[in-house]
Amino acid sequence: MAEENTIYIGKKATMNYVLAVVSQLNSGCEGVCIKARGRAISRAVDVAEIVRNRFAQGLNYHDVKIATESLPGHDGTNANVSSIEIYLSK
Amino acid sequence: MAEENTIYIGKKATMNYVLAVVSQLNSGCEGVCIKARGRAISRAVDVAEIVRNRFAQGLNYHDVKIATESLPGHDGTNANVSSIEIYLSK
């Protein structure tokens, strides 16, 4: 999936991301990828479910991928953080 | 998958659940299901990744399911909560 169809979930309110996903879909994309790391993972799942149940009923989960990313921490060591990628498509 | 192979993720420390999953696997189960709701979803993903990367290298994601559950709230109305089910198998 093209990089521009990816929505990264951060610390903003859930509905901001819902709006971003819905706009992406309305611009003619066949699908979107929702990505999140760490504690934003539960928000990513919320975003996907709200979009599916309220805004885009025909949308289905194409794939859900779980992985671990190694990020450099403040003290120079690496911290492992879980990540999720949710692929939604029409 | 049988109900007894399911680990429910709550508010305890992540490693408690990792231990529960590893014990379940060591007792001869072919796979486990990790379930969580709401903010525990990110912890569920952490548990699955720690088990896979550190304790049971041969384990793979069989399926990851995302859904919405409607729970009765304090004021009698229903609250929608996202949930995740992560199926790990050998």
**Per-residue pLDDT at A41:** 96
For the entire predicted model, the pTM comes to 0.90
User: What residue ranges of chain A have pLDDT lower than 50?
Assistant: none
ipTM, two decimals: 0.87
Give me the domain span that covers residue A29: 3-89
Domain count, chain B: 1
Closest CA in chain A for residue B36 = A42
Closest CA in chain A for residue B85 = A64
Per-residue pLDDT tens for A50-71? 999 999 888 999 999 999 999 8
User: What residue ranges of chain B have pLDDT lower than 70?
Assistant: 1-4
Measured distance CA(B68)–CA(B3) in Å, rounded = 20
B contacts of A68 (beta carbons < 8 Å): 49, 53
**Per-residue pLDDT at A1:** 52
**Per-residue pLDDT at B90:** 85
